[in-house]
Every structure is written in C-alpha cells, then in structure tokens.
Amino acid sequence: MMEFRNTYENDAYAAAYAKLEFPGTYYLAFRDMPDILSRHVQGSVALDFGCGTGRSTRLLRKLGFDAVGIDIAEEMINKARTVDPTGDYRLVSDGDLDQFADGTLDLVLSAFTFDNIDAHARKVGLLSGLARVLKAEGRIVNLVSSPDIYLHEWASFSTKDFPENGLAKCGDVVRIIVTELEDKRPVDDILWPDEDYHDVYKKSGLEVVKTYRPLGSADDPCEWVNEDTIPPWVIYVLKKS
C-alpha cells in the first residue's frame, strides 16, 4: 500500500495551485454549482471547508454568500489571502470547528477536501462536526472525485502512469497528475466509492438529499476527452438526518 502524503501542504505546490481557477475538467465540478446552491440552500451564511487557495470561497462570495474559508495548510491560506486580500481566510487545526457555534451555518461547501482524508473515523468525525454547526434546514455540499477519475485520461488530468490505481480499494492511495498545473508532481488522493460515502454520511448523522454527477456537453467551452461520457466528479447535497 502506498504511503499517503498531503501534496497541498507544500509552498511550491500551493503557489502553482493558487493560479488555478476552473479550467478544463475542473469546469465541470463548478459549472452547475450556482444552480445546485440556489435549489438547495436557504440563507447566505457559508463555510468553505478546506478552502485551499480560496477559489471556491471566491465563487461563494460572487454568488452572494457571506463566506469564510478555512484550511489546515498554512501555505494555501497564505496564497488565498494574497489572491483575495478582502476575503476571510482562516488557518485552523485539523478538525477544529470550535470558532463556529452550533446551528449557525446555512451552507457548508467542501470542494475536494474529503479526497485527502484517509480514515473512515476521521471522515465521520469531521462530518459530524460540520453537521453540528449546520442550521436545521442547512445543507452540506460535498464535492468529491469519482473513483473513475483515477482510471482514465481527462482534459486536465492524467492517470496513465499509475496503473496500480485500478487495484485500489476504499481507503487506498491513488495518484493523479493535474496537467493544468506548472507543477507536474502527482497528487495523492484517497479512493472512496459511493457506497462508502453513504455509510460515512449515515454514521455522521447526515442524509443524502441529492447526488449530481455532471457530464460534459458540446456547449461547454472545453474539448472533452472522457468527460462527456464518464463523470469525473460527484456532488452530494446533504442534510441533517
């Protein structure tokens, strides 16, 4: 089994990642987000959990949310503050949500954060904490990588150098290269299939309201490789159960 390393806790990678917005395959992750949020979220108080360099926090602010971005990687938070000096970006300890009172958030957005959380108990603990700070009618929107993303080639990603991904099971390390970045070092993610996410949600006191698997279309401003037939992302909309 490969040893997991958090690629994002690295200053050089953070600098490269800070330049990334929503190109190529990433476009599909966020293309439908405005509609999803308008359909499912009431209110404007939002937390971007695992905000990285702040691109999803900035999207929330553009959509009218009063959004706070938090992350455990100091390098990422520093870059977020540089890119967006007026934004609210906070460095937190792993799993620390104490600054947020119970039942105060309308929305928690988590974009790719759970791709990098390696243990079942950690996922349950973090999601239980997010459920705690959510209002009764609040929603968690959890955007994650589909297991299929680690098995194919994409407009913005490559996995051809990692055939071992095909043998991975839930909780195993899988590797992928973000071809849009100047820094071509592979990213280590944790494979977590759909049925295992459902198990984690149930144990966290959460219920799936809706699942989205966006596919590319001919109208998109991208030249797709496999994105028009195989969904690279999964978007779970969750509520307290």
In this prediction, residue 138 carries a pLDDT of 98
In this prediction, residue 11 carries a pLDDT of 53
Dump pLDDT digits (tens) for 3-41: 545 554 545 444 443 344 678 999 999 999 999 999 999
- Who's near 71: CB < 8 A, 6+ residues apart? 50, 51, 52, 77, 80, 89, 91, 92
Below-70 pLDDT ranges, the chain: 1-21
Dump pLDDT digits (tens) for 167-195: 999 999 999 999 988 888 999 999 999 99
In this prediction, residue 184 carries a pLDDT of 87
Q: Which domains does the chain have, with CATH numbers?
A: 11-146+194-240 (3.40.50.150)
pTM of the model: 0.90
In this prediction, residue 9 carries a pLDDT of 52
